């Protein structure tokens, strides 16, 4: 059930990223979301049973899903690191391809040593008493723990550099990463307890697994979707404000081009169909040119001058609003 919920969350994140990041050239976060969504979909019992049956009913589907999840986490860490200027050596090593290759090699080797039997949707519960199965899970979750800890290091830096609502994505990533480290520790403790036959301890610690697993993905999804969402909202707000300034300055601009006809060399309709930022910049420049031109008389009112100053501040990104 938890896997199904997370799979739905991840596919929602994929759609969100495809819409909000479609113009971005850096695709690591999107690749991460897609890969993790596929991995979590393969982990849903109904899907897993069908897929593993096609693959020979030997639980090879578990290896594929887990390897895909590791690759997705790798892309996730790389994407977060690339979005930040803070890249210390240990973080680069943890989020680098060598760490992934070593972890995947260990995962595959451990899997090949497991007596996997026939398809089971409770892989570790059924097979976790085997040393190779315990090693398989420990390798996997050790890698997750290292990667999300490195992500937390980068996110903490981003959180400190931001303020207000801009802190929400980084804050969510930090919480998700901390929960991810806790999840990794819980799973490793469960693996050791299962291997040593301490089933009571495994069951007691196991009560934390479900909530931690779900909350980790919830907060990571909020953090990953938050930044492009805030960026989109900011861009739409700026566009609306730009269009407002264009409309408010239009009468003053018309007056400026009447006293200096040479300013407007193209059809007015074509000019107004340009990018609003470009139109506003043109308006401001041509109004300023008319004001300082000693050959013409053009003296805007105080209110018009204040409006012009606010438009200039908006273009420079220094307006208070």
Both 200 and 266 in a single domain? Answer: no
Q: Taking 70 as the threshold, does the pLDDT of residue 318 lie above it?
A: no
Q: Taking 50 as the threshold, does the pLDDT of residue 57 lie above it?
A: yes
Percent of the chain at pLDDT above 90? 49
Both 142 and 267 in a single domain? Answer: no
Both 13 and 126 in a single domain? Answer: yes
Q: Taking 80 as the threshold, does the pLDDT of residue 32 lie above it?
A: yes
The four Cα atoms 41, 46, 52, 54 give a dihedral, to 10 degrees, of: -110
Q: Taking 60 as the threshold, does the pLDDT of residue 320 lie above it?
A: no
Both 82 and 12 in a single domain? Answer: yes
Residue among 94, 217, 222 nearest 170 (CA): 222
Query: What number is the average pLDDT over the span 288-298?
Result: 85
Question: What's the confidence (pLDDT) of residue 258?
Answer: 84
**185 touches 208 (CB < 8 A):** no
Q: Taking 50 as the threshold, does the pLDDT of residue 321 lie above it?
A: no
Percent of residues in the chain assigned helix, strand, coil, to nearest 5? 80, 0, 20
Of 228, 256, 288, the position where a domain reaches its end is 228
Query: What number is the average pLDDT over the span 215-220?
Result: 92
106-110, 142-146, 250-254: segment of lowest average pLDDT: 250-254
Summarize pLDDT for 265-282 with one digit per residue, the tens. 544 544 555 688 888 998
Q: Taking 70 as the threshold, does the pLDDT of residue 209 lie above it?
A: yes
User: pLDDT tier at 173 (50, 70, 90 boundaries)?
Assistant: very high
Both 125 and 245 in a single domain? Answer: no
Q: Taking 60 as the threshold, does the pLDDT of residue 256 lie above it?
A: yes
Question: What's the confidence (pLDDT) of residue 319?
Answer: 58
Mean pLDDT over each residue of the chain, to the nearest integer: 88
Of 169, 202, 228, the position where a domain reaches its end is 228
Both 217 and 161 in a single domain? Answer: yes
Q: 260 vs 114, 257, 270, 310, CA distance in Å? A: 84, 5, 19, 23
CB neighbours (10 Å) of residue 242?
Answer: 20
Percent of the chain at pLDDT above 70? 92
CB neighbours (10 Å) of residue 117?
Answer: 12
Q: Taking 70 as the threshold, does the pLDDT of residue 156 lie above it?
A: yes
Asked if residue 9 is part of any domain, the answer here is yes
Asked if residue 242 is part of any domain, the answer here is yes
Domain that holds residue 194: 2-228
Question: What's the confidence (pLDDT) of residue 296?
Answer: 80
Question: What's the confidence (pLDDT) of residue 25?
Answer: 65
Query: What number is the average pLDDT over the span 179-189?
Result: 96
Rounded distance, CA 273 to CA 285, Å?
18
Question: What's the confidence (pLDDT) of residue 272?
Answer: 52
Residue among 209, 203, 155 nearest 182 (CA): 209
Both 111 and 170 in a single domain? Answer: yes
Query: What number is the average pLDDT over the span 121-130?
Result: 89
Query: What number is the average pLDDT over the span 43-53?
Result: 91
Which residues have CB under 8 Å from 195's CB, separation 6+? 128, 129, 131, 134
CB neighbours (10 Å) of residue 90?
Answer: 12
Of 228, 256, 279, the position where a domain reaches its end is 228
Q: Taking 50 as the threshold, does the pLDDT of residue 14 lie above it?
A: yes
What stretch of H or E contains 172?
A: helix 167-195
Q: Is the pTM of this model over 0.75?
A: yes
Q: Taking 60 as the threshold, does the pLDDT of residue 152 lie above it?
A: yes
User: pLDDT tier at 104 (50, 70, 90 boundaries)?
Assistant: very high
Q: Taking 70 as the threshold, does the pLDDT of residue 74 lie above it?
A: yes
Both 114 and 200 in a single domain? Answer: yes
Domain count, the chain: 2
Both 96 and 118 in a single domain? Answer: yes
**194 touches 129 (CB < 8 A):** yes
């Amino acid at each position: 059930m938890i896997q199904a919920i997370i799979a739905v969350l991840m596919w929602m994140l994929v759609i969100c990223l495809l819409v909000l990041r479609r113009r971005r050239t850096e695709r690591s976060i999107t690749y991460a979301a897609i890969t993790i969504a596929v991995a979590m979909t393969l982990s849903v019992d109904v899907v897993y049973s069908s897929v593993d049956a096609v693959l020979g009913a030997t639980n090879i589907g578990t290896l594929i899903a887990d390897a895909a999840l590791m690759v997705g986490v790798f892309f996730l860490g790389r994407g977060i690191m690339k979005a930040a200027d803070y890249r210390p050596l240990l973080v680069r090593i943890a989020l680098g391809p060598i760490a992934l290759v070593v972890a995947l090699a260990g995962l595959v080797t451990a899997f090949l040593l497991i007596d996997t039997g026939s398809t089971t949707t409770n892989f570790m519960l059924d097979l976790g008493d085997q040393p190779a199965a315990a090693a398989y899970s420990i390798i996997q979750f050790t890698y997750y723990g290292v990667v999300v800890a490195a992500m937390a290091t980068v996110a903490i830096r981003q959180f400190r550099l931001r303020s207000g609502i801009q802190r929400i994505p980084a804050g969510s990533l930090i919480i998700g990463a901390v929960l991810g480290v806790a999840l990794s520790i819980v799973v490793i403790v469960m693996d050791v307890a299962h291997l040593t036959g301490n089933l009571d301890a495994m069951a007691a610690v196991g009560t934390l697994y479900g909530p931690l697993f779900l909350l980790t993905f919830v907060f990571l999804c909020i953090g990953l979707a938050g930044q492009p969402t805030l960026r989109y909202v900011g861009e739409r707000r700026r566009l609306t404000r730009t269009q407002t300034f264009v409309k408010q300055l239009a009468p003053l601009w018309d007056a400026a081009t009447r006293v200096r006809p040479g300013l407007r060399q193209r059809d007015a309709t074509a000019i107004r169909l340009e990018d609003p930022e470009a139109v506003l910049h043109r308006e401001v420049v041509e109004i300023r040119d008319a004001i300082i031109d000693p050959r013409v008389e053009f003296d805007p009112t105080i209110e018009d001058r204040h409006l012009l100053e606010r438009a200039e501040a908006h273009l420079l990104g220094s307006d208070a609003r």
